[in-house]
Amino acid sequence: MLSVATAQAEGRSTFTKLLFLDHFDKGVLDSGWRWVDPWDDSTLSFPRYSWLEIVATSGNDLQPKANLNAPRLIRPISGDFAIETRISPSRDGSFPSGGLLIWKDEENFIRFERGTWGFDTILLQKREAGLFQHVGDWFFRGNPIYLRMERVGSDFKALFSEDGRRWNEAAKFKFNLSDPLYVGLHAICFAADFPPTATDFDYFKILSTGNNKPYRIKGGNKLNRDELLALQKLEERKLIERANHVLSKTASEREALAGVAVITDPKTGVRFKKKLVDERLDVISNPYGVRISPDGRFLYDATEYWVVPLEEGEPFKLLSGFRWDILGRWSPDMKMFAFFCLARNSLWVVRLSPQTSKPLGPPKEIVKDVFKEEKMRNRSSPSWSPDSKWIAFSSDKAGNPDIWIVSPDGEKLTRLTDDPLGEFSPWWSPDGKSIIYSKRRPISGEIRPIYDIWIIPSEGGKAEKLIENAYSAGYSPDGEWIGFTKRRWSEKGWIRDVVLFRLSDRRKFEVTVPDEVWDEAFWSPDGEQVLFFKSGYDWRSSLRVVNTYGGPWIELGRECKLVAWDQVWTPDGEKIITMSDTDFWWIIPTKGGVPIKFQLRPEPRSVGFVLPSFSPDLTRSAYVSEDGNLWVLPISVDKAKAVGKPVKVGEGFEAGKPFFVSWSPDSKRIAFPSRRGGSRDIWIASVKGGKPRQLTSQPGDEPEPEWSVSWSPDSRWIAYSNKEGIWVIPSSGGEPRRLVGSEKVLNPAWSPDGEEIAFIGKSHISTVNPQTGEIKQILDLKAHNLDGEDAWNLVWSPDGEKLGFIGFKDPRYRIWIISISTGYLTELAGDDPGDKYFFTWSPDGRKVSYSSDRYYRVRTGAIWAMDVEELVRKTSD
Quick check: 593 and 582 in contact, CB under 8 A? Answer: no
DSSP state letters, 828-860: ESTT--SEEEEEEE-TTSSEEEEEEEEEEE-S-
Task: Tell me if residue 243 falls in helix, strand or coil.
Answer: helix
Q: List the alpha helices (DSSP H) in 675-787.
A: none
Domain residues for the domain of 501 are: 261-537
Specify the pLDDT at position 9. 37
Could you tell me if 551 and 543 are in contact, meaning their C-beta atoms sit under 8 angstroms apart?
no
Q: What is the pLDDT of residue 440?
A: 85
The predicted structure's pLDDT at residue 2: 32
Question: What pLDDT is stored for residue 12 in this prediction?
Answer: 47
Q: Which of 191, 218, 249 is the last residue of a domain?
A: 249
Sheet of strand 757-760, all strands in order from the earlier edge strand to the far edge: 746-750, 757-760, 764-768, 775-780
Residue 526 counted as domain residue: yes
Domain co-membership, 129 together with 238: yes
**pTM reported for the whole predicted model:** 0.64
Residue 203 shares a structural domain with residue 306: no
Look at residue 815 and tell me if it is in a domain.
no
The set of residues, in sequence order, having a beta carbon less than 8 Å from that of 99 and lying 6+ positions away, is: 85, 87, 111, 112, 113, 114, 122, 147, 185, 186, 199
Q: What is the pLDDT of residue 238?
A: 75
Q: Is residue 434 part of a domain?
A: yes
Q: Which amino acid is at 616?
A: P
Neighbours of 214 (CB within 10 A): 11
User: The CATH number of the domain where 444 resides is what?
Assistant: 2.120.10.30
Residue 241 shares a structural domain with residue 275: no
Identify the pLDDT of residue 525. Answer: 93
Do 234 and 360 lie in one domain? The reply is no
pLDDT at 28: 80
Q: Tell me, what's the pLDDT at 125?
A: 93
- The terminus-to-terminus CA distance of the chain in angstroms comes to 48
Residue that finishes a domain, picked among 484, 513, 537: 537
Same domain, 312 and 396: yes
> What digits encode the pLDDT tens for the residues 458-471?
998 899 999 988 88
The Cα–Cα gap between 554 and 53 comes to: 20
| Residue 69 is assigned to a structural domain of this protein | yes
Element housing 715 (H / E): none
| Helical spans, DSSP H, in 295-368 | none
Residues 343 and 295 in one domain: yes
Q: Where are the alpha helices (DSSP H) in 223-269?
A: 225-248, 251-258
Total domains in the chain come to 2
Are residues 496 and 365 part of one domain?
yes
CATH number, domain of 108, equals 2.60.120.200
Please tell me whether the peptide bond between 76 and the residue prior to it is cis, using omega within 30 degrees of 0: no
Check whether residue 192 and residue 320 sit in a common domain.
Answer: no
Q: Would 11 be classed as within a structural domain?
A: no
The answer to whether 87 and 147 have CB atoms below 8 angstroms apart is yes
- Looking at the structure, tell me whether residues 236 and 285 fall in a common domain: no
Measured distance CA(739)–CA(866) in Å, rounded: 58
Give the domain-ending residue among 504, 537, 570.
537
For residues 225 and 324, membership in a common domain is answered with no
Pairing type for strands 669-674 and 717-722 reads unpaired
pLDDT of the residue at 253: 53
Query: Which among 426, 421, 358, 418 is positioned nearest to 394, based on CA atoms?
Result: 426
Q: Is residue 706 classed as helix, strand or coil in its secondary structure?
A: helix
Domain assignment of residue 769, yes or no: no
In a domain, residue 850? The reply is no
* Residues 203 and 320 placed together within one structural domain of the fold: no
- Kindly give the parts of the chain with pLDDT less than 50: 1-12, 251, 255-259, 378, 447, 609, 655-656, 658, 703-706
> For residue 218, is it within any domain?
yes
In the DSSP assignment, the letter for residue 564 is: -
Q: Are residues 221 and 360 in the same domain?
A: no
| Strand order across the 575-579 sheet | 567-569, 575-579, 584-589, 596-599
